[in-house]
Amino acid sequence: MNKDNYITLLFKKLKGDISLEEQSMLDVWTSQSADNEKLFKQVEKDWQLTEQYEAPSDIEVDVAADFKLLQQRIQQDEDIVRTVQDNLRIAHQPIGKVVGLKKNKLASRWIGWAAAAAVALAVGFWFTSQPILGDVEMLAANTKHKEHKTITLADGTIVWLNGNSQLTYPAGFKGENRMVELTGEAFFEVAKNPNQPFIINTNKSKVTVLGTSFNVRAITAESVTEVVVKTGKVRFESKEGDKQVELTPNEKGVYNAVDNTIEELVEEDMNEIAWQSGRLLFKDTPLKEVLEDLNKQFEVDIKLSNANLNTCEYSGREKMEDGITTILQTIARTFDMQVKPSGNTTFELIGGTCKK
């Protein structure tokens, strides 16, 4: 995506008609450098100020003349002005001559148009005076329900995308960071580059690494974001950066957006990434936790009729490819239980005793 498109995305964001995919691309670009973020915040601030302005009712203005004056002040060449005008038209902001406005509402609209022109010129000037980070094409990978997809990024990083997820990423990495945006769940095996940290933005949090493998679960409908580290070290923090933890192998970070807290836990069995590894490991694990892991990984509902078995310990290595029915039958034999299915996603384990 070239720099002109980012100007358009800025205006779409300010106007409130930006799509989710476009928002992801803008977020990645904004996070690529401090200069990009600073520009966006300044443009947003200017836009908000113009919305609060009330012009005199008898104001008489010439938008075209004022627009030309703004061009002269910033001393832009014709190509930049043409880019700005094209993007203003895309953003549905008229450029033309308005004379003899008689109502506050119309006058305020003119102020919005003039402000849009001023902001656009400022953005255009900024883009021409900065190294062009925005000239990198932005790509997006999506998965459907229960669909998995593997993506190899330009730096050699490999991403396994879980179902109902989206990864937005540049075709090539420029600037001081390698920035991507994730909605849903993905496992990352990040190529090492100490001079260019790899950053994953989600709607609630941020994960920063140099080279490691880990899982990120950032489901929009869920209030918590989870990061599980398999190798290396990552910094896991809230979107604002006021809460953070550093995670090492077999550690899990859980960020709760409701109360703005991050919890650091031990994750010895690594069953959180079973969807990617294809393996479930249980070692003296309470049966209640075993069933919770199976419910999550297979998206099923397993009920235990005998609550006394909740604390019974189970050990075993299970293959995801064997399917939930086979795995449940193995567990049932261990505790002398019966498996009672109800459809394809609901099961009840009946009877049974703990084995010592």
Where residue 226 falls among pLDDT bands split at 50, 70, 90? very high
Residues with Cβ within 8 Å of 87's Cβ and at least 6 positions away in sequence, in order, are 4, 7, 8, 11, 120
pLDDT digits (tens, 9 = 90+) for 317-340: 999 999 999 999 999 999 999 999
Say if residues 29 and 12 touch (Cβ distance below 8 Å): no
Mean pLDDT value of segment 312-317: 94
- CATH classification for the domain delimited by 278-351, as one of 3.30.70.360, 3.40.50.980, 3.30.360.10, 3.55.50.30: 3.55.50.30
Judged by average pLDDT, the poorest of 18-32, 87-101, 244-258, 288-302 is 87-101
Fold equal for 138-266 and 278-351: no
Task: Identify the residue whose tokens are 């997820």.
Answer: 165
d(CA 242, CA 82): 42
Is pLDDT above 70 for 152? Answer: yes
Please check the confidence at residue 181 and state whether its pLDDT lies above 90: yes
- At residue 75, the pLDDT reads 47
Average pLDDT, integer, range 224-253: 94
Greater pLDDT, 332 or 119? 332
Q: What is the pLDDT of residues 64-95, one digit of tens each?
A: 554 455 445 444 444 444 444 454 444 444 43
Question: pLDDT confidence of 32, banded at 50, 70, 90?
Answer: low
Q: Where are the domains of the chain?
A: 3-129, 138-266, 278-351
Residue range 235-255: mean pLDDT, rounded? 94
Q: Does domain 138-266 have CATH number 2.60.120.1440?
A: yes
| Rg of the chain taking only CA atoms, in angstroms | 27
Mean pLDDT along residues 240-255: 94
* Alpha-carbon distances of 155 from 32, 133, 158, 194, 265, rounded to whole Å: 15, 16, 9, 13, 30
Above 70 in pLDDT, residue 179?
yes
Tell me the pLDDT band of 116, cut-offs 50, 70 and 90. low
Question: What per-residue confidence (pLDDT) applies to 40?
Answer: 73
Segment 272-290, tens digit of pLDDT: 999 999 999 999 999 999 9
- This prediction has a pTM of 0.65
Helix or strand (DSSP H, E) at 73 = helix 63-74
